[in-house]
């Protein structure tokens, strides 16, 4: 039982690879359905979620916690799925959320830019010039997004266990390589690796519960024992009381420890 995340550029055929892998292994394949579920659960327009994981964060978004909130919603929904195991997730952001989980096989699918241009021209019925413009913009936005939020460049091969170039290696070949790799002992789910993803999922759920407070929080969960570091312009005792009341009622939380750092706001 394991998890596979497949990072892909648009029109790189990563979606096809993911679907083939899921079919061969009998795993559940997910991508856009995460956005749909998140949109419905948190009453957030789907287009805003799409932009949150596509467009690079603007200064306004950063100040208002807008984009960070949308990404947090998606992270919580994705981790809820991934803690069940036997999942293939394809799309942006998956490998960021589970980068330290041992039983996750992280794959990057790439293809020649020329092949991507031709594929998009055929599928979207657009000119070569328009296809080039769209692909270059899409690639740059995704790169800026990951750099802005995580300081990580999605093109860095060191982020992945496998990087597969679709050309001589076909979609079917790629699926076979991934299926063979995931069966290696190093990607088996263990009690400790399952605990790690459960901890991540609970921390993500807690962060969502605190979103409306508009405060900067860092949440760490360890088997139900939750540590929260918060930076707030409000007085410590007030914010600690409010946070504790919210968090202690979340399923799976056994203990809550909160460290509050009061921010001093200067004005001229």
Intervals of CATH 3.40.50.300 along the chain: 3-187
Q: Which CATH class is domain 210-262?
A: alpha beta
Task: Give the SS3 label for residue 264.
Answer: coil
Intervals of CATH 3.30.70 along the chain: 210-262
Please tell me the distance from the alpha carbon of residue 138 to that of residue 186, in angstroms, as a whole number: 34
Please tell me the distance from the alpha carbon of residue 74 to that of residue 37, in angstroms, as a whole number: 9
pLDDT at 200: 94
What does the angle CA 92 – CA 101 – CA 23 come to, to the nearest 5 degrees? Answer: 60
Please tell me the distance from the alpha carbon of residue 8 to that of residue 250, in angstroms, as a whole number: 35
* Residue 100 CB neighbours (<10 A): 10
What integer is the mean pLDDT of 233-262?
81
Q: Which residues of 205-227 are buried (b: 16+ CB within 10 A; e: fewer)?
A: bbbbbbbebebebebebeeeebe
Q: Which fold has domain 3-187?
A: Rossmann fold (3.40.50)
pLDDT of 9 higher than 80: no
pLDDT of 62 higher than 50: no
pLDDT at 251: 92
pLDDT digits (tens, 9 = 90+) for 136-189: 888 887 777 777 766 778 788 888 999 999 999 999 999 999 999 999 999 999
Task: Give the SS3 label for residue 248.
Answer: coil
Q: Quickly tell me which residue has 């992280």 as its tokens.
A: 106
């Amino acid at each position: 039982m394991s998890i596979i995340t497949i990072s892909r550029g648009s029109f790189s055929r990563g979606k096809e690879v993911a679907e083939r892998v899921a079919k061969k292994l009998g795993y559940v394949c997910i991508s856009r359905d995460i956005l749909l579920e998140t949109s419905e659960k948190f009453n957030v327009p789907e287009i805003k979620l799409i932009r949150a994981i596509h467009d690079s964060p603007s200064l306004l978004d950063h100040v208002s916690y807008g984009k960070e909130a949308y990404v947090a919603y998606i992270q919580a929904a994705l981790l809820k799925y991934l803690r069940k195991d036997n999942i293939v997730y394809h799309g942006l952001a998956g490998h960021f959320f589970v980068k330290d989980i041992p039983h996750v096989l992280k794959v990057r699918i790439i293809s020649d830019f020329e092949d991507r241009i031709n594929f998009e021209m055929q599928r979207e019925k657009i000119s070569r010039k328009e296809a080039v413009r769209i692909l270059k913009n899409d690639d740059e936005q995704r790169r800026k997004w990951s750099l802005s939020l995580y300081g990580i460049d999605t093109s860095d091969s060191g982020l992945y266990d496998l990087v597969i170039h679709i050309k001589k290696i076909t979609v079917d070949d790629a699926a076979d390589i991934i299926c063979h790799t995931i069966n290696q002992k190093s990607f088996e789910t263990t009690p400790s690796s399952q605990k790690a993803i459960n901890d991540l999922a609970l921390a993500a759920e807690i962060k969502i519960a605190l979103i409306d407070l508009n405060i900067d929080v860092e949440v760490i969960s360890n088997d139900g024992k939750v540590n929260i570091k918060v930076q707030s312009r409000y007085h410590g005792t007030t914010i600690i009381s409010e946070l504790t009341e919210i968090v202690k009622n979340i399923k799976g939380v056994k203990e809550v420890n909160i460290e509050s750092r009061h921010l001093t706001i200067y004005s001229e």
